[in-house]
């Protein structure tokens, strides 16, 4: 533990803006750099290449998790070790099946066959594009180009849904384990904003890779545009000014209870939830839509913005809670509670997504405030506990679950790289004009 002084509340200016103390940033940076050494693993078992563990302790020790590792390798790349991105990609595709399916969790013991049957979350093409842009390693990326195509084709076909949209096989497949609409409504009935947003980015990434490798005939740009239009035409609610999931059972966007049997104020914001944030991160939202949604929901303390970052569910939702253990039971077993609660708590990846969305749409001051608050939250955690946790109580900043957590939390000290002129912040969207 690097900090000996008792945690103190950061200074607040006359506008209510919380300033980050530079010493706190330095302490968080040192802590993360030390943690990065602890989560590195040499090649072992079925893994032919080095890998990263999600925690430095006993939690999540079953294998290599897709979206956790994607984000961790971004942090390693910013520390001058982009080869971890290559090792991640090569390991994931080591276990790809002929159908194109890639296990979401890969294990050095059995390849992932005894873990979840979920397809790897849609971050692999983005990871490969960022790696190629950073290193120019066309040989490695060229060798996995066809596996990437098969992996993405699996996503675009198996999980295709009406209206040009897509749906998760199960809610927890998204990583937003007990996200409220997926919890309340039957499996497959909800078409959320997050999955098409990520697939849009995957298609953009594949188009970028194909161009760099000189692979002619790529139609990924067309596919990306088709997804962008589908999200804009079907998931944007003009009245409520937010991207919302489509409910196939009711044939409408699902934002509120709104069945006509209750007072209009009851349940009005019931389903204002974190998947709605991803079109902003992906750049799908037109500027005017983004601005209205950001002002009305993202920055509002009554919805997503808390002192500690971004809530996973609107504070104004009747379902909002900060329970350490979530609902419903996990994997269909009443004996296994959902430890990953996405019905209120702050998660660092949401802070990360929203931070980049704010920068994208011109909210630089608000992005800086969010970066500061994220550092202060993690400083508070390592001061009080000696480690980071997976998620945090949105009203108190209390760490909720998973001791000695690393994962995407190690990106905390990189947000400020995108605010200064250090050049340390790597491009997440190399296909966009800089």
Strands 305-306, 309-310: parallel, antiparallel or unpaired by DSSP? antiparallel
Output the pLDDT for position 6.
36
Q: Strands of 76-185 (E only): list them.
A: 105-106
Report yes or no: 304 and 314 within 8 Å, Cβ to Cβ: yes
Report yes or no: 347 and 312 within 8 Å, Cβ to Cβ: yes
Output the pLDDT for position 171.
80
How far, in Å, CA of 41 to CA of 87, rounded? 11
Output the pLDDT for position 32.
98
pLDDT tens profile 25-52: 999 999 999 999 999 999 999 999 999 9
Output the pLDDT for position 2.
30
Q: Between vectors from CA 202 to CA 278 and to CA 372, what angle results, nearest 5°?
A: 40
Task: Please report the domains of the chain, with CATH numbers, ordered by start residue.
Answer: 22-418 (1.50.10.10)
Report yes or no: 145 and 213 within 8 Å, Cβ to Cβ: yes
What are the contacts of 284-287 at 24+ separation with CB within 8 A?
284/197, 284/200, 284/228, 284/231, 284/232, 285/232, 285/236, 285/243, 285/361, 286/232, 287/361, 287/362
Output the pLDDT for position 376.
98
- Region of 240 (left: φ > 0; alpha: ψ -120 to 50; beta: rest) is alpha
Strands 51-52, 190-191: parallel, antiparallel or unpaired by DSSP? unpaired
- Mind giving me the DSSP string for 365-380? HHHHHHHHHHHHHHHH
Output the pLDDT for position 217.
75
The residue written with tokens 């983004």 in the block is 290
Compute the residue count for the chain.
Answer: 434
CA gyration radius for the chain?
A: 21
User: What is the rounded average pLDDT for all residues in the chain?
Assistant: 91
What secondary structure letter does DSSP report for 10? P
Positions in the chain whose pLDDT score sits under 70: 1-18, 61-62, 113-116, 258-264, 326-339, 434
How far, in Å, CA of 425 to CA of 85, rounded? 16
DSSP three-state, residue 215: coil
What are the structure tokens assigned to 411, written together?
Answer: 């990106």
């Amino acid at each position: 533990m690097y900090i000996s002084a008792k945690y103190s509340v950061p200074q607040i200016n006359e506008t209510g803006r919380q300033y980050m103390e530079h010493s706190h940033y330095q302490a968080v940076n040192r802590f993360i750099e030390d943690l990065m050494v602890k989560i590195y693993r040499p090649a072992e078992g079925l893994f032919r290449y080095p890998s990263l563990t999600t925690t430095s302790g006993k939690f999540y020790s079953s294998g290599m998790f897709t979206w956790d590792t994607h984000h961790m390798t971004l942090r390693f790349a910013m520390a001058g070790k982009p080869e971890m991105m290559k090792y991640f990609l090569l390991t994931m595709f080591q276990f790809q099946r002929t159908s194109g399916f890639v296990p979401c969790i890969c294990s050095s013991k059995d390849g992932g066959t005894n873990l979840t049957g979920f397809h790897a979350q849609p971050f692999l093409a983005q990871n490969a594009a960022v790696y190629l842009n950073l290193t120019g390693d066309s040989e490695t990326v060229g060798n996995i180009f066809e596996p990437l195509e098969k992996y993405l084709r699996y996503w675009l076909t198996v999980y295709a849904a009406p209206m040009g949209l897509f749906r998760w096989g199960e809610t927890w497949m998204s990583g937003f384990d007990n996200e409220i609409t997926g919890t309340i409504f039957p499996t497959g009935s909800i078409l959320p904003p997050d999955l098409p947003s990520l697939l849009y980015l995957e298609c953009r990434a594949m188009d970028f890779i194909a161009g760099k490798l000189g692979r002619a005939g790529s139609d990924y740009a067309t596919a990306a545009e088709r997804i962008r239009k589908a999200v804009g035409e079907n998931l944007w609610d003009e009245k409520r000014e937010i991207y919302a999931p489509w409910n196939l059972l009711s044939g409408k966007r699902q934002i509120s209870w709104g069945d006509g049997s209750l007072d209009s104020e009851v349940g009005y914001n019931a389903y204002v939830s974190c998947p709605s944030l991803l079109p902003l991160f992906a750049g799908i939202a037109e500027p005017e839509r983004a601005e209205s949604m950001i002002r009305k929901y993202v920055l509002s303390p009554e919805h997503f913005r808390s002192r500690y970052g971004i809530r996973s569910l609107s504070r104004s939702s009747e379902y909002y809670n900060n329970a350490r253990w979530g609902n419903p039971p996990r994997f269909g077993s009443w004996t296994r509670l959902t430890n990953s609660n996405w019905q209120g708590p702050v998660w660092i990846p949401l802070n990360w997504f929203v931070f980049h969305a704010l920068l994208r749409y011109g909210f630089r001051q608000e992005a800086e405030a969010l970066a500061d608050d994220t550092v202060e939250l993690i400083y508070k955690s390592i001061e009080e506990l000696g480690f980071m946790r997976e998620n945090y109580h949105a009203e108190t900043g209390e760490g909720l679950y998973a001791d000695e957590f690393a994962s995407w939390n190690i990106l905390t000290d990189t947000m400020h790289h995108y605010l200064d002129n250090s050049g340390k912040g790597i491009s997440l969207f190399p296909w966009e004009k800089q």
